[in-house]
Amino acid sequence: MRASTPFACPGRCARRGAAGQSTGIEGEQLGAGPGVLTHRRAAYFQDASDASPSLALGQAKLLERPSVDTRRSAGGHKCERRVTTERQQQTPYLEALCEYAERQPARLHVPGHKGGPGADPGMLRAFGERAVSLDIPALTHGIDVGVDPTPFEQAQRLAAEAWGAKRAWFLINGASQGNLAAGLALAHYGSEVVIQRNAHSSAIDALVLSGLRPTFAAPEVDPELGIAHCLTAQSLERALEATPSAVAAWVISPTYFGAVADVAALAAVAHARGVPLVVDEAWGAHMAFHEELPDHALSLGADLVISSTHKIVGSLTQSAMLHLGHGADGPGGAGLIGEDTVDRAVTLTESTSPNSLLCGSLDAARRQAAVHGRELLGKTMAALAKAREQIRGIEGLDVLDDRLAGRPGVFAYDPLRLAVDVRGVAASGYELAPMLREIDDINLELYGQNVLVAVFGLGERGLPEAARLVAALRTAVARVGLDPVGAGASFAAAPPWGELVMTPREAYLGAQEVVPAAQAAGRIAAESLATYPPGIPNVLPGERLTAETLAYVQNTLELGGSVRGASDRLLHTVRVVVEK
């Protein structure tokens, strides 16, 4: 018996899961198969750093079943908080990787570095020998092939249990892959979809790949802040009414700025029309682990949830998860969205060589969130509350916080983002961000004309970074001074989007030409223009370009932002459709 290493990696993706049929969270599935404990020389033991007694998965499933407690959210929706079980202390996939590396097998397989001997010494020094030794390919016996459920399958099932999903898929190409897979899965059911306009650019890429014709539902725009919040149930209702053949409703919650949608109401609207609710919860993977955080989408009836586990929960960059809700293809929502369909779409959108470090980090991050998340999040939230108070105390600055809740399109607020409203100082966010870098090497997640967004992770116990941010903001504001008129100014709102003349796929794949941006107004875009951050498309393939939008994108570039999706990142030219 040996203790597991302090990190874990849940393995290869859908193509593995496809073999293991059952992916539910019930104990009998988690521990299924007498071979689980015999084909390996030891049962899976929890990390030595965890105080509670070691327990094999098979034993765990006999001793306990996941329990839940319930509470009511601000809006009165009943939700579930899953109570940590002993088996959540385990990291079967990470453990299997470690076991493989430690026994020094003959690695007559890829990758060419052979776990270390073939690696460049500089890479070994930088990454550490251990990390390179754990870079183990897919289809390795005892890790993701062998007796079912393999450690990889077990790890995914633990993730499903932790988030309350029917099934969870590990993704190795971020939540972006989750959006691509969602689009491809939905295209099996029809050709139209209702989608929130401020979808991430990867969701728009999903429209290009899938051929789905979108009906865009406008999010609420904050009249004071000028930023897009979430979709209301009424807006979704109207969009679905206008799109009777829609195969799904696809929304975003939380937003980049921390606004959380009334997912229960959105789910009710979608389900009343017999379509699944897909929630891009890229920014909300942590919300399942603390009762003071807004309820997470799966607990409120979402059917397919895209989760960017790396963003706040802390798996390695590019690792993410896709969760299927319990009602999605079960008795309550028969046929809304099928597990096998999603599985196939995940496979289609991933490499055949999924990175074991990414997957292992998902296994580990799941354990940390499930076992220690409540405590860690509690500390982070307390430190952030203090930082918010201090920033509010700096003249000229304000912060976005739960005062937003209750505004149209904001059901609740996720406090893990620290969004600073800089309208009251005599410098834009574009000017302040480099200043903060220069003052104390402060590197932000996002900045725009009127807002700076700092992101905090689940495991930031002491949060010295928050104190650094506050101090640097104080210095920066003292340097630039106040803007007495700016305090009343609103966030720059993007202009209305142009008419959708053809599907994103038709425009993307059709005959195209490149024209000077100055001559592009009135043409049909063949590419997206999404000012970035935060990557929300201003123009989508298939839409008619307007002079106003082109000027807005150009202005963002001049202010120091960037544009994603454009073939000419400086927007001197635009790729447009050749109209017959």
Question: Footprint of ligand PLP on this chain (CB under 6 A)?
Answer: 174-176, 179, 200, 202, 252, 256, 280, 282-283, 308, 320, 535
Query: How many beta carbons lie within 10 A of that of residue 518, not counting itself?
Result: 12
| Count of helix runs (H) and strand runs (E) in the chain | 19, 20
Q: C-beta of 83: minimal distance to ligand PLP in Å? A: 28
- Strand arrangement, sheet containing 398-399: 398-399, 417-421, 451-455, 446-447
Least distance in angstroms from the C-beta of 345 to ligand PLP: 16
Residue number, nearest CB to ligand PLP = 174
CB of 337 to ligand PLP, least distance (A): 18
When the beta carbons of 196 and 243 are compared against ligand PLP, the nearer one is: 196
Rg from Cα positions in the chain: 24
Asked if 314 and 368 count as a contact pair (C-beta separation under 8 A), the reply is yes
**Pick from 147, 158, 118, 173: which is nearest to 8 by CA?**
158
The amino acid that residue 294 corresponds to is P
Task: Count other C-beta atoms under 10 Å from residue 271's C-beta.
Answer: 18
CB of 310: closest distance to ligand PLP in angstroms?
6
331 preceded by a cis bond (ω within 30 of 0): no
Backbone angles phi, psi at 298, to 5 degrees: -60, -35
Closest approach of ligand PLP to the CB of residue 307, in Å: 9
Closest CA to 571 of 503, 506, 521: 521
| Nearer to ligand PLP among residue 79 and residue 362 (C-beta) | 362
Question: Least CB distance from residue 246 to ligand PLP, whole Å?
Answer: 20
Q: How many CB atoms lie within 10 A of CB 52?
A: 10
**Which residues touch 498 (CB under 8 Å, ≥6 apart)?**
525, 539, 543, 544, 545, 546, 549
Q: Tell me the closest approach of the beta carbon of residue 126 to ligand PLP, in angstroms.
A: 23
Kindly state the smallest distance separating residue 580's Cβ from ligand PLP, in Å. Answer: 35
Nearer to ligand PLP, 424 or 535 (CB): 535
* DSSP E strands, 463-550: 512-516, 529-532, 536-539
**Nearer to ligand PLP among residue 192 and residue 280 (C-beta):** 280
Cβ at position 445, least distance to ligand PLP in Å: 9
Q: How far is CA 281 from CA 256, 272, 394, 411, 486, in A?
A: 10, 22, 32, 15, 33
Torsion sign, CA atoms 359, 364, 369, 371: positive
Q: Which is nearer to ligand PLP, 202 or 549 (CB)?
A: 202
Query: Which one, 176 or 549, has the nearer CB to ligand PLP?
Result: 176
Which is closer to ligand PLP, CB of 325 or CB of 535? 535
Return the number of the residue (293 or 316) whose C-beta is nearest ligand PLP. 316
Q: Which is nearer to ligand PLP, 258 or 333 (CB)?
A: 258
